[in-house]
Amino acid sequence: MTTDGTLELALDPAALLHGWRPGTGSWFSGPRGGLLTRGVHQRLDDPDEVPGVLSRIAADGDAPAVVVGALPFDPTRPAALAVPREITWAAPLGHAIMPGPGSGVEFASRSVPEPAAYEAMVAEALRRMEAGELEKVVLSRTLELRCDGPVDQRRLLRELAARGPSGYVFAVDLPSTGAPRTLVGASPELLLSRRDGEVVANPLAGSARRLLDPDEDAAVGAALLASAKDRHEHALVVDDVAAALRGVCDDLEVPGTPSLIRTDALWHLSTTIRGRSELPALDIARALHPTPAVGGVPRAAAKRAIAEIEPHDRGFYTGMVGWSDASGDGEWVVALRCGDVSGSTAHLYAGAGIVPGSVPASELAETATKLETMLASL
Ligand SMILES: C=C(O[C@@H]1C=C(C(=O)O)C=C[C@H]1O)C(=O)O
């Protein structure tokens, strides 16, 4: 949308993506198109202020009435939202971007917690489940990477876009007093979108590592779809999201069985829920957050377990990333398969859903697979 409100689709979304520069704005794209922002008209750290700010800007017409950015996992922490000075909307990227050669950059890396400690965390969650406190909890770990020079954030965004053309690819400018700081990632999970009143949520839960051989890979997907443990883990998320949407949507359609989606590294169980709502996308997204895809069941016990068991701060990981406009339309994805990148450091994050029957070593391996998308793009 231009400042006068007309829709301007970039002829070449790949050229637009190549135009992104760290510290100058944000990129966000998905299967329905993307956007590039330039400059900041106004920063917001309180999402409650979004409707008021957007309606004032829509009335004044001195900037695009759109907010773009990220909300952290912990909703009491400041958000990183901005009304940009300029915004250009793009058609879907499709397969417009080709992966480049490896960067050859060497990173020193440190896992927090250490892998063995992550397995102990999973064992602790399983103990809480046996004690009847919890049905599901998502536990995460981080990988702190450091290289000699600055991380090439533009290359990272391009590689993510090349590897996951049908997912959501983002580079969100985060407030920084030093080097440009960006939340860069490629998430497969749509938390909530609303366009012309049509609401879509696409919770994912239940994962399996993909294989190189096409027949073996298809068999892994089929086994995931048939797995009782993964179907249960998935149903906990769908039931929670559907219950929350039922209160705020009309004509809710909730498929009874999940389907399969794939990223470059993983298969996931996926359910697309549709409905209609007059409420702004960001309000609905915040009401859903944290879904049991990143938190757990029951919600309060899972939140407590995460705070007590995880040694690190999740920051924006498992929060949400996206945009909203003055009409209340918007698109918010779960901040997954991402890293907080600044100067010569990148903090990557990955988690896995723990339910009774989870095996600590397998959950650790799943987090390693989830880190691969980012690692392969660095
Ligand atoms: C927590 C992550 O992913 C989430 C957890 C999943 C699972 O446990 O199967 C699947 C998709 C996401 O909802 C992550 O990528 O870090």
Which pLDDT value is given to residue 335?
98
What amino acid occupies position 216? E
**Does any domain span residue 4?**
no
**Domain count of the chain?**
1
Residue 152 counted as domain residue = yes
228 residue type, one letter: A
Question: Nearest-CA neighbor of 164 among 289, 12, 338, 38?
Answer: 338
Containing structural domain, residue 272: 9-95+108-377
CA distance 291 to 280: 18
Closest CA to 167 of 335, 372, 378, 364: 335
Half-sphere exposure of 362 (CA within 13 A, CB side): 11
Q: What is the pLDDT of residue 120?
A: 98
| Mode of pairing for the β-strands spanning 250-253 and 273-276 | antiparallel
Examine residue 45 and state whether it is found in any structural domain, yes or no.
Answer: yes
Domain assignment present for 309: yes
Which residue has its alpha carbon closest to ligand 1 atom 2? 351
Inside any domain, residue 2: no
Below-50 pLDDT ranges, the chain: 1-6
Q: Is 141 in the pocket of ligand 1 (CB under 6 A)?
A: no
| Domain presence at residue 121 | yes
- Ligand 1 proximity of 291 Cβ (cutoff 6 Å): no
What pLDDT does 102 receive?
83
Ligand 1 centroid vs 353 CA: distance in angstroms? 6
Q: What is the pTM of this model?
A: 0.95
**For position 344, which CATH number holds?**
3.60.120.10
Cβ(202)–Cβ(222) under 8 Å?
Answer: no
189 lines ligand 1 (CB under 6 A): yes
Buried b (16+ CB within 10 A) or exposed e, 219-245: ebbeebbebeebbbbbbbbbebbbebb
Structure confidence at residue 193 (pLDDT) = 98
Residue 345 beta carbon below 6 angstroms from any ligand 1 atom: no
* CB atoms closer than 10 angstroms to residue 92: 15
Position in ligand 1 atom list of the atom nearest CA 291? 13
User: How far separated are the first and last CA of the chain, in Å rounded?
Assistant: 32
Active site positions, annotated:
136, 189
Q: Cis link prior to 113 (omega < 30° from 0)? A: yes
In this structure, is residue 246 part of a structural domain? Answer: yes
Helices (H), 93-171: 115-130, 153-163
Per-residue confidence (pLDDT) for residue 211, from 0 to 100 = 97
Distance 361 CA to ligand 1 centre (A): 16
C-alpha–C-alpha distance, residues 161 and 155, integer Å: 10
- pLDDT, residue 5, reads 44
Ligand 1 proximity of 310 Cβ (cutoff 6 Å):
no
Please give the distance, rounded to the nearest whole angstrom, from the Cα atom of residue 350 to the centre of ligand 1. Answer: 8
Atom of ligand 1 nearest to the CA of 336: 15
What are 215's two structure tokens? 């027949």
Q: Within its chain, how far is the Cα of 377 from the centroid?
A: 16
For residue 318, is it within any domain?
yes
For residue 189, the 8-state DSSP code is -
Burial code (b: 16+ CB inside 10 Å, e: under 16) for 129-148 equals beeeebbbbbbbbbbbbebe
> Which pLDDT does position 7 carry in this prediction?
52
